[in-house]
Amino acid sequence: MEFKKSQELYNKGLVNLVGAVNSPVRAFASVGGNPLFIKKAKGSKITDVDGNSYIDLVLSYGPMILGHRHKKVQKAITKALKNGYSFGASTKNEIKLAKIVCDAFPGMDKVRFVNSGTEAVLSGIRLARAYTGKDKIIKFAGCYHGHQDALLVAAGSGLATLSLPGSKGVPEGAVKNTLIANYNDLESVKAHFEAHDDIAGVILEPVAGNMGVVTPQNNFLKELKVYLQSKGALLIVDEVMTGFRSKFGGAQELFDVEADITCLGKVIGGGFPVGAYGARNEIMEMVAPLGGMYQAGTLSGNPIAMAAGISTLTELKKQNPYEKFNEIAQIIEVFLLESAKKYGVEITVNRFGSMINPFFTNKEVTNFEDAQTSDTKKYATFFWEMTKNGVFLPPSQFEAWFLSSALTEKDIQKITNAIDKSMEAVSKM
C-alpha cells in the first residue's frame, strides 16, 4: 500500500495550513507518520487520494452512522440545495428536526440548534450559569467538551483546587471557575461542593469517548444526579458523541438518568456541521429571545444541515440498528481479546453500543488515569498495520471506534483478519 499522493499533498499543505491540517487529530502526531488525504467515501468504505480503500471505523468521528452518502440522505440534501444554501432566516425544517430531537429525549421540551458540538457545550454551560445564578462548573479529567477556553484545563494539585490552563493562550482567569473531578468518582465531586458554594453544575459525557470508550460504573450517573439535585446544581450531559449512537435518543436514558441540559451534535447533522442544546421549558426560556441569556449564530439551523439531519434520524429510527451494533461490537471485542491472548499482547477492551476501542494496558479502564497507562507505541504499530490491511481507525489510542449500519459480513471478516495481523505485528515489537 502506497501513500505517495497523500505525502505530496501533506507537503503542499504545510505552506498555507497549520501542520497541513484543520483539526489537530488529523495530524497523526500520536501514531507517527503523515495524515492520509481522503478523496471520497461510500457506504462502509472510505478512499484516499492514492486509491487505497478502507473500511471506515472513524466515520467523521461519529456522524456517518448510516455509512457514507446514504441514498436517502443524499436525496434530501440534493432537494434542499435547489432551494438555496443559507437564508439567515427561519425555515420549516428547523421545526421538524427540533420535534424529532425533543421527542427522543425525555425532559427536553425545547432545543436550540447551533453549528458545532463546541458551540453547543459553550451555550449549555452559559445557560446553566444563567439559570442557577452561580459561576463554577465541574468537569471530569479526560472528558472533552470542545476547545472553548473555560474547558481546556488540566487537573490541579488537589480535588478541591481550581484548575490550570491546558493550552497556551488560555489565561488563568478563563478557567478560574472550572473545577476538575475524577470520572466514576462521586467523592471527587463532593469535595468541590464542600469547598465552594457557587457551583452551577457538572458537565460530563455519559460514556466518555475522548479518553477511549469509558463507561459509568456502579450507578455513578444516577448517584451524581441525586447529589446535584440536593445541592441545587444542574447536570449537563454532553451527548455530542453518544447521542443516537446507543439508542434512538441519548445514552443517559439507558442509565436511567435525565439531564437538566443536554448538548448534541454529530449524528443530528448527518455529516454537516450541527450542534444543539436543549432542556425543559423553565430552563430553555432563559435563552434569548425569551430570556436574558444571549446566544446567536447566523448559520444556525442551516437548511442543508437540517435536511441532512431529518433524513438521517428518520432513516435511523426506521432501521433501528442498535441490536445489530451490539452484536458487531461484541464480535470485534471478542476477536480483539482472543487475538491479543494468542500473541501475548496485554489489552483491555471497552465498548458501549456502536462505540468500541482497545486499550493497550492490563488495567481495567474506568477513568482517565487508567486510560493513560496504555502503551501508545503499541497502538501506533497496531494503527498502521490496520491501515495497511484496509481498516481506517482513529489515529489516537484515546479515540473511540464507531460502527455504521452500512457494515457487511464481508467487512466484519476483513476487520477481524486485519486485527489478527496487526496484533501479531504488535507482539513483535
Q: Is 266 a catalytic residue?
A: yes
Look at residue 218 and give its three-state secondary structure.
Answer: coil
Q: Is 420 a catalytic residue?
A: no
Separation of alpha carbons 262 and 267, rounded Å: 14
For the chain, the residue count is 429
SS (H, E, C) 369-424: HHHCCCCHHHHHHHHHHHHHCCEECCCCCCCCEECCCCCCHHHHHHHHHHHHHHHH
Q: Which residues pair with 61 in a beta bridge?
A: none
Q: Is 5 a catalytic residue?
A: no
Of 48, 185, 238, 375, which one is the catalytic site residue?
Answer: 238
Separation of alpha carbons 153 and 164, rounded Å: 6
Separation of alpha carbons 262 and 236, rounded Å: 6
Of 134, 136, 139, 266, which one is the catalytic site residue?
Answer: 266
Give the phi and the psi of residue 361 in degrees, each rounded to 5. Answer: -150, 160
Of 54, 144, 183, 379, which one is the catalytic site residue?
Answer: 144
Asked if 329 contacts 354 with a C-beta cutoff of 8 angstroms, the reply is: yes
Separation of alpha carbons 2 and 331, rounded Å: 30
- In degrees, rounded to 5, the angle at the alpha carbon of residue 108 between the alpha carbons of residues 263 and 126 is 45
Which residues are the active-site residues? 144, 238, 266
